Amino acid sequence: MIGFSMVPGAVDLSAAAEAGIGEEMAATTAAGAAALTGVVPMALDEDSAQFATALNAAGAAYLATSTEHVGQRAAYSGVQGLASATATAVDAVNATLL
């Protein structure tokens, strides 16, 4: 039989690191949001207007992708914390049964 082993403290550290990375990504993305979606046309012609619209759309797509990625990191961090807590609880139950 192959055993399963986990070090809850190490998983907790990983969860904290993921949460920290996600928070940093959210902060840097928020700081750049205005620059990514606040492009104004360089001139009053149609080409400039369409180019500014395209740049704003690309910026909005980047922000949406970044937001989704931050959410995935937060979910992963939460699942790691749950796994650590579950392993700790199972170990405690097993210890009392032995």
13 domain-assigned: no
Cα–Cα distances in Å, from 44 out to 21, 37, 48, 50?
Answer: 41, 19, 7, 11
Query: Does residue 11 belong to any structural domain of this protein?
Result: no
**Residue 80 counted as domain residue:** yes
The per-residue pLDDT for range 21-45, each reduced to its tens digit, is 999 999 999 999 999 999 999 999 9
| Mean pLDDT over the full length of the chain | 92
Residue 67 lies in a domain: yes
Please check whether residue 2 lies inside any domain of the structure: no
Instruction: Tell me, yes or no, whether 4 lies in a domain.
Output: no
Measured CA to CA, the distance from residue 73 to residue 90 in angstroms comes to 26
pLDDT band at 1 (very low <50, low <70, confident <90, very high): very low
Say how many domains are in the chain. 1
For residue 48, the enclosing domain spans 31-88
62 assigned to some structural domain: yes
Query: pTM of this prediction?
Result: 0.76
Report if residue 98 sits inside a domain.
no
Contact 79, 92 (CB under 8 A): no
**Cα 51 from Cα 25, distance rounded (Å):** 27
